[in-house]
Amino acid sequence: EAGVVQSPRYKIIEKKQPVAFWCNPISGHNTLYWYLQNLGQGPELLIRYENEEAVDDSQLPKDRFSAERLKGVDSTLKIQPAELGDSAVYLCASSSGTGGADTQYFGPGTRLTVL
């Protein structure tokens, strides 16, 4: 079974430029998460989707960050414009969303460097 796929794995951009990250969850997983991980810290949730609906985006900086999951499968996270402080690893995770113990499975992440 394929895991969570993310691309690109690495991205280097100059500040004020836009950037986008793509995630393909595990097949059949209805719930998708985007996390931010700064160096030396644990991941922090940015947004959670249940199918196409963003049900928890309270930690997403909406002035420059946006996300979409149009068909309830793949998702894109965008930053526009990027700032130096956005340099971090952006992780995508998915879960089946069937209740009970809903285990999340993570992708390898996209490491963003803003110069």
Partner 1 sequence: DAKTTQPTSMDCAEGRAANLPCNHSTISGNEYVYWYRQIHSQGPQYIIHGLKNNETNEMASLIITEDRKSSTLILPHATLRDTAVYYCIVTRSTGTASKLTFGTGTRLQVTL
72 touching partner 1, by CB under 8 A: no
Phi and psi (nearest 5°) for 99? 85, 180
Q: Are 10 and 114 in contact (CB under 8 A)?
A: no
Cis peptide before 81 (omega within 30 of 0): yes
Candidates 47-55, 58-66, 67-75, 77-85; binding stretch for partner 1 (CB under 8 A): 47-55
- Is position 109 an interface residue for partner 1 (rule: CB under 8 A)? yes
Among 1, 2, 27, 41, binds partner 1 (CB under 8 A): 41
Task: Report, in Å, the least distance between residue 103 CB and partner 1.
Answer: 6
Query: Which residue's CB is nearer to partner 1, number 82 or number 94?
Result: 94
Going 67 to 13 to 25 to 98, the CA torsion angle's sign is negative
Which of these segments, 13-21, 43-51, 59-67, 71-79, binds partner 1 (CB under 8 A)?
43-51
Spatial separation of the C-alpha atoms in residues 108 and 115, rounded to whole Å: 22
